[in-house]
Structure 1
Amino acid sequence: MIEWLKKVSLFDNLNDEQLEHILRIAHRRTFTAGTTMFQEKDPGVTFYVVLSGSLKLYTKSLNGEEKVLSLVSAGESFGELSLLDGLPRSASATTLEPTTVLELSSDQFMELLQTHFDITRGILSELSRRLRKTNEHVNDLTFLDGRTRVLKNLITLANQNGKRDGNLISIHMALNYDELAQMAGVTKAVLSDVIRELESRSVLTFGINEYKLNLLKLRG
């Protein structure tokens, strides 16, 4: 388990003794695919670290329309915002595949922040990254056309979750077309048109729960 924790960016500056302490106070849980871990407006009482699998964070409009905000994969954490500001959850979280997490209660999470500055700094860095990402997304929706937003979103997912082999990047992908379109801020029709174009140029190849991005073809 310590080797798993070492892959979590939030804990990469901690030693084995500190990691063992986290394992002692944390609770490990596994969720099946499609499990809603919490919903928007729920009280926030738990912090999560993803050990394996993936989930989506999303909001819903008054008419029930869903907007995927981000994909959270192994090695990433989520759920800290409500614990820090005491407000309800700002988004819902649903697993996309069987997912194993470590759970820390609010008290345990705050104790870690007080005793381990490296974790506090990591949390601040992660919150800053998300704020920059939100600002960038607003800018993209304002100034970029749909095709460019789809391309940028695919490349971002490749950079975050992909495995490179020469000019090919393989990306494990549990999101469906609707969810990919929501992340890019386009309609499903626009997403389909862009994907067909990329497939026809051999830039993109889809498999079962994964796609491959050919960087050489993308640059061509």
Structure 2
Amino acid sequence: MSDPLFARFGREFSAGDILCREGDPGDVMYVIQTGSVRITKMIAGEERVIAMLGPGEFLGELAILNGKPRSATATVVETTRCLLVEARTLEKMVAVNAEIAMRLIKKLAKRLDSADALIEVLMHRDPKARIMLALARNAEAFGEKTAEGILIRTRAEDLARDVGVDAVAASDVMLRLRRLRLASEVPGGIVVADVGRLQDFVEFLEMPQKFGGEG
């Protein structure tokens, strides 16, 4: 069955296609129907992944709303179908539909929370804890529900790089989490079995080792 909305506003992209680049001007936003898109930003001279977006997510709206250059680069991870919404169309949609305006506000607020969480992760002293906290953050903010748990469309080494940790430490962490059945690497990403249990495990590791030192 054909999709009239896609026929009018849609476009299909291949893996590796760049939807927009950080610093470029922008007059269109993208609504993801299928597939996934990686959002990266240059931080301290290095490209860092700040989000992985899937079906139902949108991107590029900030350049439309504030008239400033793109704040990040969006790269297609797999074959992806998007609806392209121009600035004038978005303005009309927001003006006449309060539900769309509220969804946009909620999404922006969620992204601000995610940015704050990323800052907390990067400030953590323990590199292995940073990986686990980043896993939990990504699962909550950008994860996709599956039968096995929450799927994050990223690799362990990429996640480690984004929080300033080497690949060896990432491998050690994933091995430990797999043994504990908290998370495991699968084709296409990482599955977190239970975000709450993962967060509890990190908190357990951070508990002061005071009992053995008191006498």
SS in 1 for 2:149: strand
2:51–2:138 Cα contact (<8 Å) kept = no
Q: Does 1:75 align with 2:56?
A: yes
CA distance in structure 2 between the aligned counterparts of 1:154 and 1:193, rounded to whole angstroms: 14
Q: What residue in structure 2 maps to residue 17 of structure 1?
A: none
Equivalent positions of 1:97-116 (< 5 A) are 97-116=78-97
Cα deviation, residue 209, structure 1: 1.4
1:203–1:217 Cα contact (<8 Å) kept = yes
Residue by residue over 1:139-174, the C-alpha shift from the partner in whole angstroms, topping out at 9 and shown as x without a partner, is 232246322232233234444434354xx415263x
RMSD after superposition:
3.0
Q: Does 1:30 align with 2:12?
A: yes
Q: Which of 82, 90, 107 is matched with 1:126 structurally? A: 107
Letter in 2 for 1:109: L
Count how many residue pairs are aligned between Structure 1 and Structure 2.
198
Q: Does 1:201 align with 2:180?
A: yes
Q: So what's the TM-score if we normalise by structure 1? A: 0.76
Structure 1 gap ranges (5+): 5-19
Q: Does 1:142 align with 2:118?
A: no
Cα deviation, residue 191, structure 1: 1.8
Q: Does 1:153 align with 2:149?
A: no
Cα 1:82–1:212 shift into 2, 3 Å:
closer
Q: So what's the TM-score if we normalise by structure 2? A: 0.78
State, as a whole percentage, how many aligned pairs show the same letter: 26
